[in-house]
Structure 1
Amino acid sequence: MTDIKTRSDNDLITLRKNEDAINELIIRYKPVVEAIAVKYINSPLEKEDLVQEGMIGLLAAINSYKKEKGASFGTYARRCINNSIQSALKKVSRLKDIPQSSLVSLEEDYFDDVVHLSAEDEYLAKESVSTLNSVLYEELSSFENEVLRLYIMGCKYNEIAEKLDRNTKAIDNAIQRIRKKLDGVAF
């Protein structure tokens, strides 16, 4: 059997199921990837990231090359490498245009609109809720609790007054008392 290093690109492509053939193509084309990546050196991505994206393009070329299409493997690989790098750059520039307020922290994992907390965060959240419950129970009157519940639900002062059969001044006073009582609570 002929040494893998002496085989042509087309021979190696026909052997692409063989790990040694793929490795040889990667070794041969890594300088090509680096040369293409250098063209984009003034982009938002660092050189290592550009090379990584180019290597992804090279692997895609190795897996999808068809000799029957007419282009040589080298030409096809260069096109795939370039396209992969350009796609990564487009993605980065799109992310740059996203308003900061719409970004989600990496520390929060959202799945089906449910926030999954770490055990520590979950414990702290339960402690905060427990503290809030006891403050609401101990510090607020039943009237103030009812005003707060309706206020949190989005009711306006006049709606709360109507539902509780009180005037709006009584509701405003209750909300001011609630704010003062909750202002000193540490969570």
Structure 2
Amino acid sequence: MADKNIKSDNDLLTLPKNENAITELINRYKPTVEAIAMKYINSPLEKDDLIQEGMIGLLAAINSYREEKGASFSTYAGHCINNSIQSALRKVSRLKDIPQSSLVSIEDDYFNDVVHFSAEDEYLAKESVSNLSQVLYEELSSFENEVLRLYIVGCSYSEIADKLEKNTKAIDNAIQRIRKKLEGVAF
């Protein structure tokens, strides 16, 4: 005589999606997931990763199974588990095809203080540079713009004076005027 507390897959699936029914189905089908994952044991993914992908497929099966489609849940779950694992394997093989020269190590970036900006940060930075360029054009004289350009590229006051055929005091005065004009500018 069958125990009345043991419910069929369909009974568990027709219950409102509660945690106990889902947990029971996961426990019931975990050996199936492991068996399907073992078929791919010689793949680039480790056993635990294969099982995890299979469990994702099982959860997808639990959430999308429709009895009226005609397949039993065990058949449907098996296909979902297998498809999920194969999909993960395809993804891994696609990543394998990326040229190694185009990959950047996270550690290299971290140790070399390389900063990657999000698209939003890049847009805002470009907008700030555009605003700064506009302010420089409107507020600074052509002489002050030339002094600032040379100062930004690392020229000393005397180098700037030589290139612009001015004395260093004129260069210092220009830089002081530039600083005053830019103090109130907000970006």
Residue 99 to residue 20, structure 1, CA distance change in 2 (3 Å): same
Query: Which amino acid is 2:90 matched to?
Result: K
Q: Which residue of 1 aligns with 2:118?
A: 111
* % identical aligned pairs: 67
Q: Which residue of 1 aligns with 2:29?
A: 29
1:142 to 152, 157, 160: 160
Residue 10 to residue 89, structure 1, CA distance change in 2 (3 Å): same
* Counterpart-to-counterpart distance in 2, 1:111 and 1:15: 44
Query: Which amino acid is 2:7 matched to?
Result: R
Q: Unpaired runs of 5+ in structure 1?
A: 116-132, 147-187
Aligned-residue offset at 1:28? 0.4
Q: Which residue of 2 aligns with 1:68?
A: 68
Residue 26 to residue 109, structure 1, CA distance change in 2 (3 Å): farther
Q: Unpaired runs of 5+ in structure 2?
A: 123-150, 165-187
Query: How does 1:153-164 map onto structure 2 within 5 Å?
Result: none
Q: Which residue of 1 aligns with 2:54?
A: 54
Residue 144 to residue 89, structure 1, CA distance change in 2 (3 Å): farther
* Counterpart-to-counterpart distance in 2, 1:36 and 1:145: 75
Q: What is the SS of the residue equivalent to 1:136?
A: coil
Residue 135 to residue 111, structure 1, CA distance change in 2 (3 Å): closer
* Counterpart-to-counterpart distance in 1, 2:162 and 2:80: 66
CA offsets 1:130-150 (integer angstroms, 9 cap, x no match):
xxx78813388239989xxxx
CA offsets 1:111-163 (integer angstroms, 9 cap, x no match):
11747xxxxxxxxxxxxxxxxx78813388239989xxxxxxxxxxxxxxxxx
* Counterpart-to-counterpart distance in 2, 1:58 and 1:13: 13
C-alpha RMSD over aligned residues = 2.8
Query: Which amino acid is 1:53 matched to?
Result: E
Q: TM (normalized to structure 2)?
A: 0.59
Aligned-residue offset at 1:99? 1.1
Residue 85 to residue 134, structure 1, CA distance change in 2 (3 Å): same
Count of aligned pairs between the two proteins = 126
Residue 20 to residue 136, structure 1, CA distance change in 2 (3 Å): same
Q: What is the SS of the residue equivalent to 2:74?
A: helix
Deviates more, 1:50-59 or 1:103-112: 103-112
Q: Which residue of 1 aligns with 2:171?
A: none
Aligned-residue offset at 1:69? 0.4
